[in-house]
Amino acid sequence: MALPSGESIARALGLAPCIATDLKATHSNWSETPLWLYVLAEAEIQQNGERLGEVGGRIVAEVIFALLRHDPTSFLSDPKWQPELAGPEGKFGIADLLKYSDVA
């Protein structure tokens, strides 16, 4: 597939790559870990398999952001968009979202 290895993605992101022996992903034909296996093993090492690790989380977040950026109906496509539910200082933060959602 010609995808970069998990270690090369980590280095490109300025992160210290997980060690192949920690990933339990050593194979005689691999110089580095395939990306799909690296993301799964990294999640196990860094988050006990409950969430994505640094590399996997970054990949997912950047894909979602790119989809929003390229969607003509997304608020990111409208430079004049302002949150309607701004807090007292004219900003909309996580506390405002929780209050609006009736969670907090």
Q: Same domain for 97 and 84? A: yes
Predicted structure pTM score: 0.69
Tokens 């860094």: give the residue.
46
40 contact partners, CB below 8 Å, separation of at least 6: 56
**Mean pLDDT score, 76-87:** 76
Q: Same domain for 66 and 76? A: no
- How much is the pLDDT for 97? 80
Is pLDDT at 88 greater than 80 in this prediction?
no
Per residue in 45-79, pLDDT (tens digit) is: 899 999 999 999 999 999 999 999 899 988 888 88
Q: Taking a C-beta distance cutoff of 8 angstroms, is the pair 12, 32 a contact? A: no
**Structural domains counted in the chain:** 2
Q: Taking a C-beta distance cutoff of 8 angstroms, is the pair 25, 37 a contact? A: yes
Supply the range of the domain harboring residue 78.
Answer: 72-104
Q: Which amino acid is at 20?
A: A
Helix H or strand E encompassing 47: helix 35-47
- How much is the pLDDT for 55? 96
Q: Same domain for 61 and 99? A: no
Q: Same domain for 14 and 33? A: yes
